[in-house]
Amino acid sequence: MSQEEKMVSETRMDALLRFAGHALCDSRADEMGDWDGGAIQDALEACGLIEKVERVVPCSEDCVCREYCDPGETTQCYPFTELGHDAVAAYRAWQDARRGHRPGCTALLAWDIPGACDCGALPSSGSQGPE
* Residue 7: pLDDT band with limits 50, 70, 90: low
Q: Which amino acid is at 95?
A: Q
* Phi, psi values for residue 111, rounded to 5°: -65, -20
Q: Which residue has the higher pLDDT, 75 or 50?
A: 50
Predicted pLDDT of residue 82: 92
| SS3 state of residue 73 | coil
* Residue 94: pLDDT band with limits 50, 70, 90: confident
- Indicate the range of 23-27, 87-91, 124-128 predicted with least confidence: 124-128
Pairwise CA distance, residues 57 & 74, whole Å: 6
Packing angle of the helix pair 82-98, 3-27 (nearest 10 deg)? 70
The residue extents of the domains of the chain are 1-48, 50-79, 82-123
* Residue 62: pLDDT band with limits 50, 70, 90: low
- Output the pTM of the full model: 0.62
Pairwise CA distance, residues 72 & 58, whole Å: 7
Predicted pLDDT of residue 66: 72
Pairwise CA distance, residues 6 & 131, whole Å: 16
Is pLDDT at 101 greater than 50 in this prediction?
A: yes
User: Exposed/middle/buried for 23, CB within 10 Å: 0-12, 13-18, 19+?
Assistant: middle
Predicted pLDDT of residue 49: 92
Using CA atoms, how far residue 5 sits from 19, 28, 29, 121, in Å, is 21, 35, 36, 35
Residues in the chain: 131
* Residue 23: pLDDT band with limits 50, 70, 90: confident
Pairwise CA distance, residues 68 & 50, whole Å: 19
